[in-house]
Structure 1
Amino acid sequence: MNQPEQQGDTLLTPEQVCELLGGITCKTLREWNNVHRHRKTLAPIRFTHKLVRYERRNVQAFIDKCRSTY
């Protein structure tokens, strides 16, 4: 049986996403959902106005797109 943390479609809380993105604040995450150029990749799932979750695979794709190459 797979552990939920290992599945690509695991739903994450905004706090968990902030931690994965390097310790940003929830306020910054909300702003990125509105104005960041890769906001469609991050794509939060809104169950209600207060209950928001993110798919782990979308967060990883967002990180990969934002990674700078030198």
Structure 2
Amino acid sequence: MDVEHFTSKKPDFPKKKCGVLGATGSVGQRFILLLALHPHFTLQAVGASERSAGKKYKDAVRWKQAMPMSKQLGS
């Protein structure tokens, strides 16, 4: 039985742009990590509450995930 992992890139599958609402919460953070590691999606936008408006993601979020936030995600 040949099983492909979800992170296996398929050459004929175009990358899709996506975004996450509620990005500063723990569930939003988890979605961001999953999308950042996925070969078929490009994280294009994040959204959060008014108190996060105008801030860089790294300054707006209190990171709660086991995997550290990458520099690319924090910008």
What is the TM-score with the length of structure 1 in the denominator?
0.29
Q: Which structure is richer in relative contact order (CA contacts within 8 A, separation 6 or more)?
A: 1
Comparing both structures, which one devotes a greater share of its residues to strand? 2
Please tell me whether Structure 1 or Structure 2 has the larger radius of gyration of its CA atoms. Answer: 2
Comparing both structures, which one devotes a greater share of its residues to helix? 1
